[in-house]
Structure 1
């Protein structure tokens, strides 16, 4: 069965999923996810089995079909289909390195520069990400950038 997350509480570790096949929302606990809970968000599409519990339908063995968090990661990494790049400015109001013409060399960013620019882009492209989701995305992108030598040592 498939459905979309209509409510998610990351602190308490549960969600409710609406499915066209059932009359009521299905309870889903993060212990029943077959994917990283950092990808869970409102509007995520999940595929799940369900059973009838004491309080109504309960999802079991839920897998991820689509996630707005994964979309935000793709957009932040510039992998097509995401929103257009957002022109950013430094603290002094000057254009960021992203607005400079490409000279054949890659910019090497500090960790702070990467975090600031990435956070701004995530919030602009998917404004309803939770703080925990932004941190998870930033950590993943930071690890990728470090592995490619895109960050200062």
Structure 2
């Protein structure tokens, strides 16, 4: 079961620690072998998501990933054709739609922890900023 929580403590040298799940329940054991990101990034208070398993000694987290922090495991999008490269001003309603679509894709690929609601809110602010500055027209 996928869950979220906060790292209570993590000993980078020993390679283990504990997570306080967001839902009521006992603390969950975490081991360095189950971390998706580099272990030095997991500090006390870090927000994480993980899959809950039952180990021999109680709840154990697997596939532990940081939330709200840059992940070195993200995919960076690069333009595949000259048409996709940045331009100073994009014109027309179709261009605004393309701008919104490309912005959405960039947000999804750059920050893999954003929710759909957060993406919509950010996209709305950026499109309005682009219209005010004349970067897009329509």
TM-score by length of 1: 0.42
TM-score by length of 2: 0.46
Greater Rg over alpha carbons, structure: 2
